Amino acid sequence: MSVNLEYYKIFYYVAKYGGITAAAEQLCISQPAVSQAIKQLERSLGSDLFVRTAKGAKLTIEGESLFSYVQKGYETILIGEEKFKKMMDLETGEIRIGASDMTLQFCLLPYLERFHEMYPNIKVNVTNAPTPETISYLKEGKIDFGCVSSPFVSKPDFKVTQIQQIEDIFVAGNKFWVYKNKMMHYQELEDLPIICLEHNTSTRRYMDEFLSRNHVVLNPEFELATSDIIVQFAIRNLGIGCVVSNFAKKYLESGELFQLHFDKPVPKRNICIISSEKNSISGASKKLLAMLEEG
């Protein structure tokens, strides 16, 4: 397009406010500058756009036709600018997060609560999935960042921030009371009914790898989708539950469950926030991400 777009902006204001003087006031420029811009636009288009009157300027037929299109375009730009400003000011926007049941409940939820109090108009979409799936979603750009538990395979473009430590433990109900004060060896678990998560979780993989290094292979009685259900199965004495300690805390405190103790502790691991340098994310996502990384 050979015509300076600034001329169309000035044309819009002259047409909307009905005169050179009013347009100049709105645009905070001189009247001669407005007049010159209109003349340049008319010269480029080859037709008069206004009829000058004592009261100002009135659109010609051709000018009215052009203004109907310029008005739609310019006002759409103004709407876009306003929406952009609201997003930058966190008055509107959207955040896409990936998180497992555990990381959502014991790490992310308090931050989301505080963020929502500060920015109530920001829409938050949480994709609830195990760590391996969350990592895939991040690679594919389907989420802005993920809240995952270690261990996991990171990528060169990933930024990983450790948020808090977690501990994997074995818990049981009163049917297994004989083991409460006993210092056990992990090999003994092979002869007990075990309740644990399904294979597609970082928690299950971590525990399997740890036990394998100690020459133990478990054949679980139950493989369940969530740790909350594992705890409920353990309370009902259906077996020895393998969970992150956070899930069992209140039941350990109430005495409904007790923790089994072993001659070698399971090494602690971490809940982490992962983001990708390859993904463009909203200002709202950047703000929440910063809150999480700062703790």
Considering only CA atoms, give the Rg of the chain.
32
Whether the Cβ atoms of residue 121 and residue 91 lie closer than 8 Å to each other: yes
Rounded CA gap, 40 and 103, in Å? 62
pLDDT class of 2 with cuts at 50, 70, 90:
low
Q: Is the pLDDT of residue 288 over 60?
A: yes
First-to-last C-alpha distance (Å) of the chain: 51
Beta-strand ranges (E) seen in the chain are 50-53, 56-59, 94-99, 123-128, 145-149, 158-166, 168-172, 183-184, 194-197, 222-224, 240-244, 258-259, 261-262, 269-276
Q: Which domains does the chain have, with CATH numbers?
A: 5-88 (1.10.10.10), 94-165+270-294 (3.40.190.10), 168-267 (3.40.190.10)
Q: What is the pLDDT of residue 147?
A: 95
Q: Is the dihedral of CA 248, 130, 94, 89 positive or negative?
A: positive
Q: What is the model's pLDDT at position 89?
A: 65
Provide the residue type at 65 as one letter: S
Q: How many CA atoms lie within 13 A of 249 on its CB side?
A: 7
Per DSSP, the residues of 205-234 read HHHHHHHHHTT-----SEEES-HHHHHHHH
Find the mean pLDDT for residues 9-29.
93
- Per-residue pLDDT, 155: 86
CB 188 within 8 A of CB 172: no
Tell me what pLDDT residue 84 has: 83
pLDDT, the chain, mean: 92
What's the confidence (pLDDT) of residue 153? Answer: 85
The tens digit of pLDDT for each residue in 127-155 reads 998 888 999 999 999 999 999 998 888 88
Dihedral of CA 62/67/73/77: which sign? positive
Using a cut of 0.85, tell me whether the model's pTM lies above it: no
- Residue 147, strand partner residues: 99, 273
Model confidence pLDDT, tens digit, residues 178-235: 999 899 999 999 999 999 999 888 889 999 999 999 999 999 999 998 999 999 999 9
Q: What is the pLDDT of residue 295?
A: 73
Query: Residue 5 — very low, low, confident or very high, per pLDDT cuts 50/70/90?
Result: confident
Cα distance between residue 127 and residue 137, in whole Å: 9
Instruction: Give the pLDDT of residue 254.
Output: 97
According to the model, what pLDDT value does residue 239 have? 97
Q: How do residues 241-276 score in pLDDT, each as one tens digit?
A: 999 999 999 999 999 999 999 999 999 999 999 999
Read off the pLDDT of each residue in 103-116 and give the average, rounded to a whole number.
Answer: 92
Opening angle at CA 201, ends 149 and 232, nearest 5: 95
